[in-house]
Amino acid sequence: MRVKSVCDRLWHSRGLHCYFVSNSTGTYANTFSTCQQFKALPVDIEDYSENSFLVDISPKATDELYWIGYEHVVGNIWRWNATSSTGLFQNWEPGEPDGQGKCSAIAAYGRGRWRDRDCRTKLKFICKKKADCSAPPVMINGLDVRTSVPALLSENHIIFASSTIAFYECEDGYEFADRGFSKSSVCEIGGRWEPNVPSNTPCMPKKCTSPPQYDFTVSNVDPAIEYYTFGSIITYQCSPGYWFHPYEVTTSEKYLKCESDKTWRETNSKANNIPLDKCSKMHCIRPVTANSVSNTSLNVFGTIARYECDYGYKYSDNETVKIFECGRETWSPPAEQCIVGKCPRHFVQNAIATPDSVDFGTTVTWQCLPGHKYADTKVRKEMYCQGNEKWDRIINAGCESKCSIYIRHIVSFVSSKLRILFYHIYNRYYQIL
């Protein structure tokens, strides 16, 4: 920081203020008018230190008085013209104010006591104004303010000289209310930045027009909103039964953000490489179609499929026809496979089945166990499982042991011979009679 006097020539510097001590005289009204020409006002005094400073800078002359800006209001109430406040500090001469007038003056000697005087009296005067400007006002959503010249340091106060230009620009994504690109403000004499850019044209968020709509999507777009401010994010989801890309279940949402150039762009999307307008119908995994026929080859959302089991097959609930609807990636009810029909299990005495199966389409051959055979050699030994889950025939005759068969044959032979013998004996007996 550079250190220098910040007041004009013939003005005295103290802190952030400049003071002018006149050599000519005038009424209080003349004083007020002259100070205004300097963009100043009759001096107001904040404390004893400032009061002593005014005595120090005034030419020393016995009983010399200078107009100050302390004005009578009513009764015992006085106030400073510059601040419209009564102030906490007063330095009246004992016995003052004594009612001589409604304006006040400071003695330029001793302790700088005050006296009241008729405002039409001609006295010298002291003007006061801000030395220069303090730091330019900060703009919300604005970049750091740039100035045409560096700041100055005066009694530990950062100030800017008169005619310094402050340049304002908005942050990325913001613009001035009148949509201007940049603004400037000038430090005027009297310590004011004109115009006051942050108050007059604040930085406002940039706006995007209403975001686009896409086929087969739902979003949080509000039709009643014509413009969206910078940073707004719109969430898009595919309509029920649709997704952004087949078989990519992680791409359920996409986002558009209102950027600083007033356009909508994708941001933080899980499917940045997939166009937003490509929501397609979800797919269901194709059911296993073995042992069944369907009336359609489609497997997208909303498909109604009729599956009928082949002859000899059925579903787990014994039905042969099922209707399935493709929902969000799954069939309803859950798709299932046709299973083979089965005939009731059958048993033949002393025989085994080959193969040991009761599935539809199986031909089972019954073979006697070792040491056994069918008593009737003409018995058909095969059974076929039909599609109606019934055997084409039932084998009731079982296998017997060979010994039993031989004994039965011997008994049968002996019995037949005995019958013949008895027959002949019977006939002979009746012939004799």
Query: CB neighbours (10 Å) of residue 159?
Result: 22
Query: CB neighbours (10 Å) of residue 360?
Result: 21
> Token pair of 192, please?
């004011």
Pair 63, 113: CB distance under 8 Å: no
Query: CB neighbours (10 Å) of residue 155?
Result: 12
Which of 126, 156, 165 is closest to 31 using CA atoms? 126
Which of 271, 266, 265 is closest to 248 using CA atoms? 271
CATH pick for 17-130 out of 3.10.100.10, 3.40.50.450, 3.10.20.30, 3.30.870.10: 3.10.100.10
Question: Helices marked H in 48-112 — which ranges?
Answer: 48-57
CATH of domain 345-433: 2.10.70.10
pLDDT digits (tens, 9 = 90+) for 49-104: 999 999 999 987 667 899 999 999 999 999 999 888 998 999 999 999 999 899 99
Q: What are the boundaries of each domain within the chain?
A: 17-130, 208-281, 292-340, 345-433
pLDDT at position 96 is 94
pLDDT at position 142 is 87
Task: Confirm whether 208-281 and 345-433 share one CATH topology.
Answer: yes
Those residues with Cβ within 8 angstroms of residue 265's Cβ, 6 or more apart along the chain or in another chain: 256, 257, 259
pLDDT band at 247 (very low <50, low <70, confident <90, very high): very low
pLDDT at position 275 is 63
What's the whole-number average pLDDT of the chain? 83
pLDDT band at 317 (very low <50, low <70, confident <90, very high): confident
pTM (predicted TM-score): 0.48
Q: Which residue has the higher pLDDT, 348 or 50?
A: 50
CA dihedral of 28, 32, 35, 41, whole degrees rounded to 10: 110
pLDDT band at 187 (very low <50, low <70, confident <90, very high): confident
pLDDT at position 249 is 47
Q: Cα dist. 312→57, 147, 353 in Å?
A: 122, 94, 21
Residue 387 CB-density burial (10 A; 0-12 exposed, 13-18 middle, 19+ buried): middle
CATH of domain 208-281: 2.10.70.10
Which span out of 239-248, 289-298, 386-395 was modeled with the highest average pLDDT? Answer: 386-395
pLDDT at position 325 is 85
pLDDT band at 268 (very low <50, low <70, confident <90, very high): low
